[in-house]
Amino acid sequence: MEKINENKNTERPPVVVIMGHIDHGKSTLLDYIRKSNIVDKEVGGITQNISAYEVIHSTKDGIEKKITFIDTPGHESFSKMRERGAEIADIAILIVSAEDGVKPQTIEAWKTIVENNIPAIVAINKIDKPNANVEKTKTELAENEIYLENYGGKIPFVEISAKTGTHVDDLLSLINILAEMENFTGNKEQDASGFVLEANLDSKRGIQATLIIKDGTIKKGMTLVVEDSICSTNIMENFLGEKINEASFSSPIRLIGFCKMPKIGAPFKSFQNKKDVEKYINSLNLKDALLEKSSKDRTSSANSNKKIIPIILKADISGSIEAIEKEINKIKNDGAEFRIVQKGVGPISESDIKNIGGCENVLVIAFNVKIDKSAIELANKRGILISSFDIIYKMTEWLEIEMENRRPKVETIETTGRAKILKVFSRTKERQIAGGKVIQGRMILDKVVKIMRREFEIGKGKIINLEKAKTKVREVEEGAEFGMMIESKIEIVEGDVIESFNITQK
């Protein structure tokens, strides 16, 4: 039975986010809890978009309790998505591998939990592994100021194996105990409000978004608003993809038919009549905010003197675009920078390629999306390469290579040898025979050399014959005297210095 207060608030299920380093077992834990598999569907076993699921857990007293889980990616690039998960959640689970211990994303995830001031549980996972060292993991957590119960702090923890299910039931019980202590409540009689968790473009159904309801109830026939994006609630689905007519707080839902891509992480509100919708939109002052952003973008562009390498980016979901933008911003170079000139969710279409216009050396990236046949044909005609990726770090490696290949190169001249002219014997047209001594480095046959007079370059020449002790040689080392024939328009004289050099690009 639900606890009902006089103010019509009722106990609501907790929304739980699972956070931690890549490959520490977040998806495996959720997979075990909900008895279905997500890891096999992810490229390389990495969860690359956020998801939400409901599970029912029976307490020791036999009471069924609902828990909503949010799964977040562990790869470093997806920090924005993890932050969004923490902002939306009521309780956080920090999952740490007993085999690998504390890693960079473990610390980053914990900082996000602390900054959002949400109660947390530490799940020490992979205790079934031969190399598991639970005590070492607890020590590493303490060294990073994550103090567990009985280890100098008050943070509850459970030692689990997400693979075998060992102590996972204890973890779920601990979530319910923590939820009761925090007393999460909501009012079902209110119109629903909450947050956008994810958004994407479905080629058949249009723009759809995953939402988490934090309070109230949403029903079929209402209107939902996310900033300047509006959607009717005529097509709603639960997390299993089943059509529903109603949902209340803590539930993840998918809504189909947004007029434009909603901003992920943004709050939403639902309304029963259109007048309230118009009033709410007018109160947001969105036009001013958009103008301010446009002005900042123009200022940033004007201040850059680097070579711009334009990128057109299409991805499966908005969260992937966020993560890719973060990766692109991390690729630094003094002479060039990547700039996303066009981005969006959905497949690469012919119009995407047409819009390239006069952009030179543009990079077109398709992340986890298809490429229309007409787009491929047009790109081939225009000599435009479309690069497809489904793992973000593979895309990052490729971008780093592209930056190195496309950045402006600086030529540097390195002196490899210097020789002083001791005597000039003869000159015929543009060829001269002279003798000299190598004072630094070496002289090499067929090398172009600079002719220096009083430390100033007066011209260039090429050594076409080189002799040492009247024997033809390929090179002469430092300290040795030599004879040579040099081809040059410049007449060399005794006392001149010739310098051999290499030109390198850096």
Is residue 299 scored above 50 in pLDDT? Answer: no
- 70-84 pLDDT, tens digit per residue, is 876 545 555 565 566
Looking at per-residue confidence, does 48 or 98 come out higher? Answer: 98
Same domain, 198 and 181: no
Same domain, 161 and 15: yes
- Per-residue pLDDT band for 409 (boundaries 50, 70, 90) equals confident
Residue 3 placed within a domain: no
Looking at per-residue confidence, does 320 or 435 come out higher? Answer: 435
Are the CB atoms for 168 and 175 separated by under 8 Å? no
Structural domain boundaries, residue 401? 305-406
Is residue 50 scored above 60 in pLDDT? Answer: no
What is the Cα–Cα distance from 487 to 485, expressed in whole angstroms?
A: 7
> What pLDDT was estimated at residue 73?
58
Residue 402 placed within a domain: yes
Q: Which residues touch 181 (CB under 8 Å, ≥6 apart)?
A: none
The CATH number that applies at residue 65 is 3.40.50.300
> What pLDDT was estimated at residue 83?
66
Residue 175 placed within a domain: yes
Same domain, 206 and 252: yes
Q: Which residues touch 366 (CB under 8 Å, ≥6 apart)?
A: 314, 347, 348, 386, 387, 388, 389
Mean pLDDT, rounded, of the chain = 84
Of 142, 163, 185, the position where a domain reaches its end is 185
Same domain, 395 and 421: no
- Per-residue pLDDT band for 62 (boundaries 50, 70, 90) equals confident
- Per-residue pLDDT band for 303 (boundaries 50, 70, 90) equals very low
Q: Identify each DSSP E strand in 304-390 by its residue range.
A: 307-315, 336-345, 363-367, 386-389
Question: How many residues in total does the chain contain?
Answer: 506
Q: Which of 175, 179, 14, 158 is nearest to 96 (CA)?
A: 158
The CATH number that applies at residue 366 is 3.40.50.10050
> What pLDDT was estimated at residue 305?
67
Same domain, 180 and 202: no
- Per-residue pLDDT band for 142 (boundaries 50, 70, 90) equals very high
> What pLDDT was estimated at residue 357?
61
Of 255, 286, 317, the position where a domain reaches its end is 286
Same domain, 324 and 263: no
Same domain, 250 and 359: no
Same domain, 311 and 402: yes
- Per-residue pLDDT band for 105 (boundaries 50, 70, 90) equals confident
- 428-454 pLDDT, tens digit per residue, is 888 999 999 999 999 999 999 999 998
Residue 338 placed within a domain: yes
Looking at per-residue confidence, does 287 or 331 come out higher? Answer: 331
Are the CB atoms for 443 and 476 separated by under 8 Å? yes
Locus of tokens 């109830």: 217
Which of the residue ranges 32-41, 90-99, 313-322, 339-348 would you say has the lowest mean pLDDT? 32-41
> What pLDDT was estimated at residue 296?
47
> What pLDDT was estimated at residue 128?
93
Are the CB atoms for 309 and 402 separated by under 8 Å? yes
> What pLDDT was estimated at residue 3?
44
> What pLDDT was estimated at residue 287?
45
Is residue 286 scored above 60 in pLDDT? Answer: no
Number of domains in the chain: 4
> What pLDDT was estimated at residue 138?
94
Pick the most confident of 40-54, 345-359, 377-391, 489-503.
Answer: 489-503
Tally of CA atoms within 13 A in the half-sphere of 288 that contains its CB:
5
Looking at per-residue confidence, does 357 or 256 come out higher? Answer: 256
- Region 46-61: mean pLDDT is 69
Residue 5 placed within a domain: no
Is residue 300 scored above 60 in pLDDT? Answer: no
The CATH number that applies at residue 237 is 2.40.30.10
> What pLDDT was estimated at residue 177?
92
- Region 206-210: mean pLDDT is 86
Same domain, 263 and 385: no
Residue 130 placed within a domain: yes
- Region 244-254: mean pLDDT is 93
Residue 135 backbone dihedrals phi, psi, to 5 degrees: -65, -40
Looking at per-residue confidence, does 483 or 70 come out higher? Answer: 483
Same domain, 50 and 180: yes
Residue 71 placed within a domain: yes
HEC string of 242-275 equals: CEECEEECCCEEEEECCCCCCCCCCEEEEECCHH
Residue 148 placed within a domain: yes
Is residue 13 scored above 90 in pLDDT? Answer: yes
- Region 282-300: mean pLDDT is 52
Q: Which H helix or E strand runs over 115?
A: helix 104-115
- Per-residue pLDDT band for 52 (boundaries 50, 70, 90) equals confident
Of 354, 388, 406, the position where a domain reaches its end is 406
Locus of tokens 């390469």: 385
> What pLDDT was estimated at residue 19?
85
Burial track 425-438 (b if 16+ CB lie within 10 A, e otherwise) = eeeeeeebbbbbbb
Same domain, 164 and 226: no
> What pLDDT was estimated at residue 7?
65
Same domain, 443 and 326: no
Q: What is the DSSP letter of 316?
A: S
Which of the residue ranges 329-333, 421-425, 438-442 would you say has the lowest mean pLDDT? 329-333
